[in-house]
């Protein structure tokens, strides 16, 4: 790495220090390629720690490990968000990944054959950029939400932590996805609760039963990891639909909501007299609204012509052909249905890093440093950064 008065220069920059960025870093280290990971969070793993308090994975720990390091929990247990955050932090320490936290990239473009990135007053230049982030980063709420009465507490699911954030009275959860269903089941223990919208299907078995843990999840994982991929006819057919459709309910089933006293109502279409207006013309008098309405694409800082009309990056298994040197890891269905998960992100990271290494060798065949074995000695990350990106 070279640092000048105004700019840091490095061969490869990885944007995002979550599971996608760390898995990518692991494979870059194995190939001896100099790189730097930039992450907006204060600590590694904070993207998980900042979710609601009771969040747990939908898959057992045996499928939650990134390449080179299994998840440190009983194989059939379902890790909490804190366990995942701590695991990612330990992963970065074990493999001495050069992560620079507190750096939020606000623009990326290409100039004179090199990528230029800015993060506030900081400037970076590189030959390659790997965007290691999910498709959707910006919490989305309908425009009419601002018309609700001022005394109604409004939260997006992204900002919800626990029921203590709510005031006394009824709660309307808008959106019947996995987040909305999980949150509705929790708040129903202390508040009258309604959930608005229609589910897109559900898994019929309790996922924490012995049968599901040991048999069903194995089958579902195999299907999502190997069958629903861009390499199979069924995967290519289903991919466009799955990119913009809610996943089926996994842990919470409709009957669980009913048994907990959660009433399902039609979708919210607007506001009337300061209250949520339902599609059947009724208004719902509530004191709290939790918007589980998804996220918008968070790639407006990428100033490159690589997006389709829906705002999705154009790529082939993470490789952007129209902009050599640009790659993606962590996108939903980048290669398969598991691409954005702890289960599948490592495979995609390995493929993308292999493509980058091949391209880099064509450009500078004698410059790539010798492969360095990854190890588990917990060195200081900042000291290692000087070695890794020099």
Please give the residue that has the higher pLDDT: either 286 or 202. 286
Over the Cα atoms of the chain, what is R_g? 22
Q: What is the pLDDT of residue 15?
A: 98
Which of 14, 3, 2, 23 minimizes the C-alpha distance to 338?
23
- In DSSP terms, which residues pair with 295 in a beta bridge? 139
User: pLDDT digits over 118-169, tens only?
Assistant: 999 999 999 999 999 998 889 999 999 999 999 999 999 999 999 999 999 9
pLDDT band at 389 (very low <50, low <70, confident <90, very high): very low
User: pLDDT digits over 353-382, tens only?
Assistant: 999 999 988 876 544 445 555 554 434 333
Q: Do domains 2-137+296-388 and 141-203+248-293 have the same CATH topology?
A: yes
pLDDT band at 3 (very low <50, low <70, confident <90, very high): low
Domain boundaries, the chain: 2-137+296-388, 141-203+248-293
Structural class in CATH, domain 2-137+296-388: alpha beta
Strands, E assignment, the chain: 2-3, 8-15, 35-39, 99-101, 107-111, 114-119, 122-132, 136-139, 153-156, 171-174, 193-196, 263-265, 268-272, 275-278, 288-291, 295-297, 326-329
**Predicted confidence (pLDDT) at residue 88 exceeds the cutoff of 80:** yes
Task: Give Cα separations from 287 to 163, 166, 192, 290 (angstroms).
Answer: 13, 8, 10, 10
**Predicted confidence (pLDDT) at residue 27 exceeds the cutoff of 80:** yes
Backbone angles phi, psi at 21, to 5 degrees: -65, -40
- Altogether, the residues listed in the chain come to a count of 390
Q: What is the pLDDT of residue 4?
A: 58
What is the C-alpha separation between 261 and 184, in angstroms, rounded? 10
**Predicted confidence (pLDDT) at residue 327 exceeds the cutoff of 90:** yes
Span 274-288, mean pLDDT? 97
Span 285-306, mean pLDDT? 95
User: pLDDT digits over 205-250, tens only?
Assistant: 888 888 888 888 888 889 999 999 999 999 999 998 888 777 889 9
**Predicted confidence (pLDDT) at residue 387 exceeds the cutoff of 80:** no
Q: What is the pLDDT of residue 384?
A: 36
The pTM (predicted TM-score) of the whole model is: 0.89
- Three-class HEC string of 292-328: CCCEEECCCCECCCCECCCCCECCECCECCCCCCEEE
**Predicted confidence (pLDDT) at residue 386 exceeds the cutoff of 70:** no
User: pLDDT digits over 199-216, tens only?
Assistant: 888 988 888 888 888 888
Span 263-274, mean pLDDT? 97
Span 101-108, mean pLDDT? 97
Structural class in CATH, domain 141-203+248-293: alpha beta
Angle between helices 19-30 and 81-94 (to 10 degrees): 20
Span 43-60, mean pLDDT? 95
Mean pLDDT of the chain: 91
Please give the residue that has the higher pLDDT: either 203 or 31. 31
């Amino acid at each position: 790495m070279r640092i000048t008065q105004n700019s840091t220069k490095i061969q490869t920059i990885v944007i995002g220090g979550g599971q996608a960025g760390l898995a990518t870093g692991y494979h870059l280290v194995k190939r001896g390629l100099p790189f730097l990971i930039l992450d907006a969070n204060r600590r590694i793993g904070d993207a998980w720690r900042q979710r609601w308090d009771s969040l747990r994975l939908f898959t057992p720990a045996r499928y939650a490990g990134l390449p080179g390091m299994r998840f440190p929990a009983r194989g059939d247990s379902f890790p909490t968000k804190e366990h995942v955050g701590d695991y990612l932090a330990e992963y970065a320490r074990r493999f001495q990944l050069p992560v620079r936290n507190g750096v939020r990239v606000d623009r990326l473009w290409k100039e004179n054959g090199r990528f230029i990135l800015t993060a506030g007053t900081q400037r970076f230049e590189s030959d390659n950029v790997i965007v290691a982030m999910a498709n959707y980063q910006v919490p989305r709420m309908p425009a009419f939400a601002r018309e609700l009465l001022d005394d109604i507490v409004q939260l997006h699911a992204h900002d919800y932590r626990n029921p203590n954030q709510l005031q006394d009275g009824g709660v309307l959860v808008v959106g019947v996805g996995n987040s909305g269903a999980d949150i509705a089941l929790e708040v129903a223990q202390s508040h009258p609760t309604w959930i608005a919208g229609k589910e897109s299907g559900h898994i019929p078995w309790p996922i924490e039963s012995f049968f599901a843990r040991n048999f069903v999840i194995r089958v579902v994982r195999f299907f999502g990891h190997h069958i629903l991929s861009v390499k199979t006819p069924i995967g290519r057919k289903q991919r466009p639909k799955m990119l913009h459709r809610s996943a089926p309910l996994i842990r919470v089933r409709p009957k669980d909501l009913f048994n907990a006293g959660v009433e399902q109502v039609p979708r919210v279409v607007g506001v009337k007299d300061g209250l949520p207006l339902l599609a059947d013309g009724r208004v719902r008098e509530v004191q709290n609204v939790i918007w589980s309405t998804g996220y918008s694409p968070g790639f407006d800082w990428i100033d490159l012509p690589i997006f389709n009309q829906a705002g999705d990056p154009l790529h082939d298994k993470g490789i952007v052909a129209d902009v050599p040197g640009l790659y993606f890891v962590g996108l939903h269905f980048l290669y398969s249905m598991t691409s954005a998960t702890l289960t599948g992100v490592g495979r995609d990271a390995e493929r993308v890093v292999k493509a980058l290494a091949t391209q880099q060798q064509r450009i500078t065949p004698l410059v790539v440093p010798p492969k360095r074995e990854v190890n588990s000695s917990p060195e200081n990350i900042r000291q290692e950064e000087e070695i890794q990106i020099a």
